[in-house]
Amino acid sequence: MIQQVHSHPDIYRIRVDLPDNPLQYLNSYVIKGVSGNLVIDTGFNRPECKRALCQGLQELDIRLQSDTSLFITHLHADHSGLVGLFAATGCPVYMHPVDYQYLVDSEDGSTWKAAEDNFMREGMPPAEIKTQFSNQARTFSPDPHFPVNPVHDGDCLHLAGCDLQVIHTPGHTPGLCCLYLPKEEVFFTSDHILFNITPNIQVWYHMKQALQRYLESLQKVRELPVRLALPGHREGDTSIAGRIDEIVAHHDRRLAEICHLAGLYPHSTAYDIAPHMTWSMRGKQWKDFPPTQKWFALGETLAHIEYLVDHGVLCCREEQGCRHYDLVRTET
């Protein structure tokens, strides 16, 4: 399903459904120019997404050849999954090198193994870890063998007849890049700013303090003049400052909630704390959460714990290979 979201330049949204995924669908954006096109993000590497994306491109009369470029905003498989489709036909692919490296490193499973070992140290039982093998982020990930044009913060790309500014906003992933059209004040926010759901923040190996970095990246774009914000999932909006303030308030509440729980349950692991947090899982209890949601919830809990430890609010003690947390002081 395609929808025109902007004229001059002509920007379209292809809705790529993500079956059995709470995100529901990915917004793949297309800037259709006279002498070239730009596609932003692809959907998972699975037949349902490929069909939706290819049908959208066909309706827009866009053939995958060298005058069509692909910009991958970040490494997550729902955004990068179908890169092979573009790379195979010689389309230039743009991406931040840090996220590209994660894709390369995950090919032999070593980054997933490192994440599993880490989650085990945070108290996740081995039986829970085993249930993660069906995680869509793993099963529908892209083939990382593609030539990449690395992009960095502040780069100006001239693609599809437009001047696009690259804004590196680490947090949701280490290399997430938004794109901005300064003249038209159109802002492709990817998963940095979502409007109906809150972007997930995890812990990362090559990026310390993911939550701190994320909050800084929100402030980095808060004053950007924006007439149209186009997010990676769900619907967009015009006011990004208001939405940023809501997201910051959400993380403040999360931090306060963890402090409260750490006081209530001293010497807990992150996995002990996570089930007591407030999650919007349609009334489901922790034990009924799907395995992938438990993984994301533990990661999100850890990102906040990491922030509190770094700010001297919590302390961490490692005993028999497992980390336990205690409250040092109450204010964040």
Instruction: Tell me which residues touch Zn ion (CB under 5 A).
Output: 76, 78, 191, 232
CB of 78 or CB of 306, closer to Zn ion: 78
Report d(CA 234, CA 190) in Å as an integer.
11
**Tokens representing residue 304 in the block:** 């906040």
**Closest separation in Å from C-beta 16 to Zn ion:** 11
CB of 194 or CB of 261, closer to Zn ion: 194
Of the candidates 152, 164, 201, the residue with the CA atom closest to the CA atom of residue 29: 164
Give 289: exposed, middle or buried? Use CB within 10 Å, 0-12, 13-18, 19+: middle
**Closest separation in Å from C-beta 90 to Zn ion:** 26
H helix or E strand, kind and range, residue 53: helix 47-59
Q: What angle do CA 325, 106, 213 make, to 5 degrees?
A: 50
**Closest separation in Å from C-beta 139 to Zn ion:** 16
Distances (CA, A) of 327 to 13, 54, 72, 260, 315: 47, 52, 40, 9, 6
**Closest separation in Å from C-beta 286 to Zn ion:** 23
**Closest separation in Å from C-beta 127 to Zn ion:** 27
CB of 68 or CB of 136, closer to Zn ion: 136
**Closest separation in Å from C-beta 200 to Zn ion:** 7
CB of 99 or CB of 116, closer to Zn ion: 99
**Closest separation in Å from C-beta 298 to Zn ion:** 17
DSSP state of 199: P
Which residues in 158-175 are b (16+ Cβ under 10 Å) and which e?
ebbebebbbbbbbbbbbb
Whose structure tokens read 């790379």?
87
Of the candidates 51, 44, 22, 233, the residue with the CA atom closest to the CA atom of residue 139: 44
Report d(CA 183, CA 168) in Å as an integer.
19
In this structure, how many other beta carbons lie within 10 angstroms of the beta carbon of residue 3? 11
CB of 167 or CB of 262, closer to Zn ion: 167
CB of 144 or CB of 232, closer to Zn ion: 232
CB of 169 or CB of 269, closer to Zn ion: 169
In this structure, how many other beta carbons lie within 10 angstroms of the beta carbon of residue 277? 15
CB of 36 or CB of 144, closer to Zn ion: 144
**Closest separation in Å from C-beta 273 to Zn ion:** 24
